[in-house]
Structure 1
């Protein structure tokens, strides 16, 4: 459970430097989301520390970064405004318990059934949201305290520093990958700004602008334990339960989608159910230690992955460095120009957006293209969880319409006298019965081939159906060959695993919604 080394690509030095980069990027995000939720900055910073540390140690996706997020902040703000901080802490605690229960009930597998067009729309919408969030850094308060767009020299300075940060982040890896380019960019721009005395907003300027307090600082102590100061009765439960359910759902959807995205980027597989439990444990801790709770942060996770962070050490480092900034080194971190962090986030936007989706839009079915655009638009207009829900429902309706005839088969006899069943359509819980009825084990020859090249195995019910089919043929002393199954299918098959013919070049790669690998 506590494996720090988590992949063949694990490099402690890279993880340490990547974690430091992420910690720098976490500070303004945590402060901003605390203000969105209507609480003090330290409440957000403590959440980034505790959620980040606990999920890094116990979570199911090494390399993924968690902390205080905007998706949860927008839900919390109404609770805080109506009932205060203590009720928020109670809701966060209950949210964590719900998430732990979801993990124990092994509900994490269902994220594997999110269609690929929904994932494309999700990451595209997310990239747009991250980009739009950075635009607020190009504003400054006027004489009356109202935020106005920068103009003149301050704007040109800001743009130049952002461009310089992006240039370092982009070009440095072409020269060396010894250190994360985003970390070098942040440190270089900070030194340049301080050395030349450039008039560019820093993190502490941002904090003071947001809070309206000219003496505001990031300095603070360690979080302390305390029970939420609320009446422990049914009335309190009535108030916090709706918020807790929404928070738990939003947090898990965002975390599990981030997990899936990192799986695809790193060609590995995280454990969704374990991540649910870890997220829940982190939020329960937040409820007891005065923090606003959190979930996976896709932008920071992308910074970590792009910087080479692959192991648990990267997330642990980010969390510990963050709390060190708060307790020991706030004067130093407050000097970092906001422009440097904006430049890093702009590079995240460019790396997150699926530019290939423009190309595939004309090649995929119209329904898939509509899903990509729909999910992206809803993500920007509302939030990620709602967008994914809308996309999944739309895709499910399209799927039901297209696959009303369920699975079917085309069969032939090859030159060797073997009967070949070529499957067409998806094999999932709704089509397993029809799948088994397609075959005639008693009447078939002694050598039979089942071709899955034009089919897709979607869930564990489909795996069980393939095992059942294999058992029927083997009990009659006949030979069964299974072709073009994904590596995950081969791993999950118990009775038919040895019957699969492996073709590394032609075999498809896709995930199966199952508890066995989660």
Structure 2
């Protein structure tokens, strides 16, 4: 329904202009996530710069934008409240080490195990989260120190400017692609607000409201080297390791799913293990420079892709321009109306949400439709990592349930008078109950053979089922043999030889297809 992908060819100009657009959108996001984590705004802004720069240079996905994110901030806040910001820096350092190890041991490949319905749920859920996050910009401080919804003229001006921003982003590419439409919209709306002296909330107003400080500013200097001031002992490790493990997992899941999404949009392929190492290196650096760490940002990544950013230069430009804003141009950035940035993010929502999934619901299996809705809902209610884990688990259970019903046998008596059960379908924890019901122990002849050329022993539950069946035949004085097991199944039974006693009929003339040939 909404095809917002830029048609402009990849070029240095497009990458730099796209980076400028992303940098403008990063400022309020980084400040907001710093506030969520209960740290100073510059801690979030420095994270956006450091993570954005290092992952753009060394990461596995050109064009993907990384920085401080809400998914990590909500985990960090309890650590900061309980132990202080120095423990956060030490945790981010350990988080980065864990992510580098994940890349070294090539764990990034496991992102391929995420089913497509989970991906759709992830995309739709994040689109909803981005949308809900923007609604906070429609609130203003009240007299009691809280927040209230805008009313009257302030609300109408805000809605009008948001609509104008969205209209420029939608229609400008039909006229020209020389300038990213998001950047043009931000500049145009800012000029209108300043030129007509409209009462519109700006980035500076947002910063003051978040910090409660009338002197608040995003101005600062270069990040300074800083070793986390915590005791380097086992007690500290006990405190920070659980947080670091959760943060590393959330960061990698969000980053690798975003990488997969951009791969599909741009019809190119990133490198998941390289991205793990890049994210880890960025977070290690954050730990030594007083920043809150981060991971891939789907909203800003979509802004970059939609604005024509394709190469590493776009991410590098965004990070460097953001740092330039902090050092040299804070006053200019603080003048940007929030309505312009909200309009940009609303267009990201429209472009990110998989609208075709509504039609798809009637055409895919009910279990897949359920997973899409489930992952979307869990993403909104909790966080991305939990949502993806829940989606993968539910998908795996559905798969196991369906395949558990596909096991059956073809029976016959061979030349030696043995009864052969030719097994079809995988033997695993889900199918063992049905497997046990396939055999007629009481009426079978004294010699029974299970033919495995169309089946496979998959796990320990399968071994126990075979052992239990062998015992039943032994109790009535009959012998059970296994024939045509694949080499990996034979190895599995060999490893469990102390737990199970079965007779395997060797057949050196029978060739079993290996995983390499499958």
TM above 0.5, yes or no, is yes
Whether 1:259 aligns to 2:263 is no
Gap change, CA 1:195 and 1:349, over 3 Å in 2: same
Q: 1:147 corresponds to which residue?
A: 147
How far does residue 438 in structure 1 lie from its aligned partner after superposition? Answer: 5.8
Q: 1:232 corresponds to which residue?
A: 232
Q: 2:349 corresponds to which residue?
A: 349
Q: SS of the residue aligned with 2:140?
A: strand
How far does residue 306 in structure 1 lie from its aligned partner after superposition? Answer: 0.7
Whether 1:316 aligns to 2:355 is no
How far does residue 10 in structure 1 lie from its aligned partner after superposition? Answer: 3.1
CA–CA distance in structure 2, aligned partners of residues 129 and 307 of structure 1: 22
Matches within 5 A, 1:4-15: 10-15=10-15
Whether 1:58 aligns to 2:58 is yes
CA–CA distance in structure 2, aligned partners of residues 272 and 425 of structure 1: 33
CA–CA distance in structure 1, aligned partners of residues 316 and 393 of structure 2: 37
Q: 2:289 corresponds to which residue?
A: 289
CA–CA distance in structure 2, aligned partners of residues 425 and 357 of structure 1: 32
CA–CA distance in structure 1, aligned partners of residues 425 and 41 of structure 2: 52
Q: Deviations over 1:383-432 (max 9, x none)?
A: 11110000000000011112236799xxxxxxxxxxxxxxx999xxx9xx
How far does residue 146 in structure 1 lie from its aligned partner after superposition? Answer: 1.6
Q: 2:188 corresponds to which residue?
A: 188
Q: 1:396 corresponds to which residue?
A: 396
Q: Deviations over 1:441-485 (max 9, x none)?
A: xxxxxxxxxxxxxxxxxxxx9xxxxxxxxxxxxxxxxxxxxxxxx
CA–CA distance in structure 2, aligned partners of residues 495 and 371 of structure 1: 32
| Contact map agreement 2:375 2:390 (CA 8 A) in 1 | yes
Matches within 5 A, 1:207-286: 207-286=207-286
Gap change, CA 1:231 and 1:197, over 3 Å in 2: same
Gap change, CA 1:425 and 1:186, over 3 Å in 2: farther
CA–CA distance in structure 2, aligned partners of residues 189 and 372 of structure 1: 37
Q: 1:37 corresponds to which residue?
A: 37
Q: What TM-score do the two structures reach when normalised by structure 1? A: 0.78
CA–CA distance in structure 1, aligned partners of residues 224 and 186 of structure 2: 31
Q: Deviations over 1:276-309 (max 9, x none)?
A: 0000000000000000000000000000011111
Q: SS of the residue aligned with 2:310?
A: coil
CA–CA distance in structure 2, aligned partners of residues 391 and 438 of structure 1: 30
CA–CA distance in structure 2, aligned partners of residues 301 and 58 of structure 1: 16
Q: What's the RMSD between the two structures over aligned residues?
A: 2.7
Gap change, CA 1:113 and 1:79, over 3 Å in 2: same
Matches within 5 A, 1:70-81: 70-81=70-81
CA–CA distance in structure 2, aligned partners of residues 407 and 273 of structure 1: 37
CA–CA distance in structure 1, aligned partners of residues 257 and 165 of structure 2: 29
Matches within 5 A, 1:18-167: 18-167=18-167
Identify unmatched segments of 5+ residues in structure 2.
1-7, 409-423, 431-451, 456-487, 489-514
How far does residue 340 in structure 1 lie from its aligned partner after superposition? Answer: 0.2
Paired residue total: 422
Q: 1:176 corresponds to which residue?
A: 176
Q: Deviations over 1:348-405 (max 9, x none)?
A: 0000000000001011000000000000000110011110000000000011112236
Q: SS of the residue aligned with 1:236?
A: helix
CA–CA distance in structure 2, aligned partners of residues 172 and 108 of structure 1: 39
Q: 1:369 corresponds to which residue?
A: 369
Q: Deviations over 1:213-251 (max 9, x none)?
A: 011011000000011000000000000000000000000
Q: What TM-score do the two structures reach when normalised by structure 2? A: 0.78
How far does residue 143 in structure 1 lie from its aligned partner after superposition? Answer: 2.1
Q: SS of the residue aligned with 1:60?
A: coil
Q: Deviations over 1:33-91 (max 9, x none)?
A: 00000000000000000000000000000000000000000000000001001000000
Q: Deviations over 1:129-149 (max 9, x none)?
A: 000000000000122322110
CA–CA distance in structure 2, aligned partners of residues 191 and 144 of structure 1: 33
Q: SS of the residue aligned with 2:148?
A: strand
CA–CA distance in structure 1, aligned partners of residues 259 and 151 of structure 2: 40
Q: 1:334 corresponds to which residue?
A: 334
Gap change, CA 1:12 and 1:406, over 3 Å in 2: farther
CA–CA distance in structure 1, aligned partners of residues 342 and 184 of structure 2: 14
